[in-house]
Amino acid sequence: MVQNYLLDTPEGIIAIDTGYPGGADKFIRRFVKKAPLSRLKYIFLTHHHDDHSGFLNDLLAVTDAKVILHPLAVQYLKAGKSNEPPGSGYSSWPASLFSKVKKDFSFPPVQLGDRGVVIESEAAQFFEDLGLPVRILFLPGHTDDSIGLFLTETGQLFCGDAAMNAVISVARHTIWIEDAEAFGRSWDKMLALNPKKIYPSHGTPFSPKDLVKYRHYMDGRTLIHP
């Protein structure tokens, strides 16, 4: 359901998100086949939803990793449930069928303490300050705490749920959107970077040409409220 990406850097491994609650054991088994768990130094949280932060507590318990996140994500993690602000909804009728399958969007609450590194704005480039060619992007729309990573040397863009390439999604739009206008502006921001390939959290990597092709679908889009 969720792609787990690992960036192996001279400063340690950066994991992009975790996954649904209960998935830690499988993640760790697969991780240690590639590197010692001690090399996991950072967990980059693209946003707070249960399929991205569900086993965050488990990884914090067995590593000394820091969590890199948007400031709004802190309160959502403490609450242990996905935020559903007024006006948010599903991006299409096929996407709305997901609500028939999944009813519970809660996850174990997370208290980060001194393990959290809050990125207040795009002026705070944590990874670039470490000397890494990894730029943090604010990509609101899916959620107000959505962020992504752009590898400036290779042009790879890890967008979280700012775009999606799964069977249930339509036109590369994620199934749940809080703010359709902000979602479209985040696509414009990603395109302005001229990325070589986009890596979503759901589905396979795809060409940025798809964002150009489907960008107009978000103009005037009416969301379907649960």
39-70 tens-digit pLDDT = 999 999 999 999 999 999 999 999 999 999 99
pTM reported for the whole predicted model: 0.96
pLDDT digits (tens, 9 = 90+) for 151-167: 999 999 999 999 999 88
Q: Show the CA angle centred on residue 42, arms to residues 57 and 22, nearest 5°.
A: 30
Count CB neighbours of 50 within 10 A: 20
Q: Which residue has 């107009």 as its token pair? A: 216
Report whether pLDDT(93) > 90. Answer: no
With beta carbons less than 8 A apart as the criterion, state whether 223 and 89 touch.
yes
| pLDDT band with cut points at 50, 70 and 90 for residue 113 | very high
**CATH code of domain 5-218:** 3.60.15.10
Distance CA 62, CA 56 (A): 10
pLDDT digits (tens, 9 = 90+) for 172-182: 999 999 999 99
> b/e per residue, 161-170, with b = 16+ CB within 10 A?
bbbbbbebbe
Domain positions in the chain are 5-218
* pLDDT for 87: 92
Closest to 139 measured CA to CA, from 15, 9, 45: 45
